[in-house]
Amino acid sequence: MLQQLFSPSVQHTLDLVGIFVFAISGALLAVRKNFDVFGIAVLAEVTALGGGLFRDLIIGAVPPAAFTDLGYFLTPLLAALLVFFLHPHVERIQVGVNVFDAAGLGLFCVAGTTKAYEYGLGLTQSATLGLATAVGGGVLRDVLANEVPSLLRWDRDLYAVPAIVGATMVVLCIRYDALTPFTSGLAALTAFVLRLLAMRFHWRAPRAWNRRSTVRDE
């Protein structure tokens, strides 16, 4: 078995924090789309748990943690309730929410990659599921809200790339038998910092070389 980055109790707390922040982003989008309270709750749950559910179903970790730990299910509902009543105030601290979202991205890409490898997947497949754990909920959120997923849009700051870097660092450490709490934390921190820098300097992925498309930019 691979070493855990933190003790089980601390890891569980960090998972709940990441779930809560991801749920906030889903609930805020629902408010902007003028969804009702049920829609707000659904987007909060999907955003927070979608990536982890997808990973657990792929690796055969069933029933998924979201259905065995009541805290995982209730935390997004708490976030949805908070946004339902206080969304103007939450909007004003959007920068802070984005910082925590970046932290969740870093933690989830590392945790997802590690868990996938522990269940017998290869290094490349584990990194792929680490990425899916980190960004899958956001993709489902955007699809349900009838939007092009953010990580596919050229006009959005890099989101998937920091998660890819973090997941790749983890599998390289596994490959060279160097995965420790320190190196796992370093991978999560790298993804976190890259995401913050992307938001700060508006780093974006390049579009097709020598692009001649007549499609209007959106």
pLDDT (tens digit, 9 = 90+) per residue, 186-212?
Answer: 999 999 999 999 999 999 988 888 776
Residue 209 lies in a domain: no
pTM, rounded to two decimals:
0.86
Residue 208 lies in a domain: no
* 76-105: average pLDDT: 84
Residue 218 lies in a domain: no
Q: According to the model, what pLDDT value does residue 21 have? A: 85
Residue of higher predicted confidence among 100 and 52: 52
Distances 132 to 27, 33, 111 between C-alpha atoms, Å:
20, 25, 11
Residue 216 lies in a domain: no
Residue 2 lies in a domain: no
Residue of higher predicted confidence among 91 and 189: 189
Residue 157 lies in a domain: yes
Q: Count of domains in the chain?
A: 1
Residue 214 lies in a domain: no
Split at pLDDT 50, 70, 90, the class of 25 is confident
Split at pLDDT 50, 70, 90, the class of 116 is very high
Q: Which range marks the domain in which residue 73 is found?
A: 8-201
Split at pLDDT 50, 70, 90, the class of 1 is very low
Split at pLDDT 50, 70, 90, the class of 214 is low
Residue 210 lies in a domain: no
Split at pLDDT 50, 70, 90, the class of 166 is very high
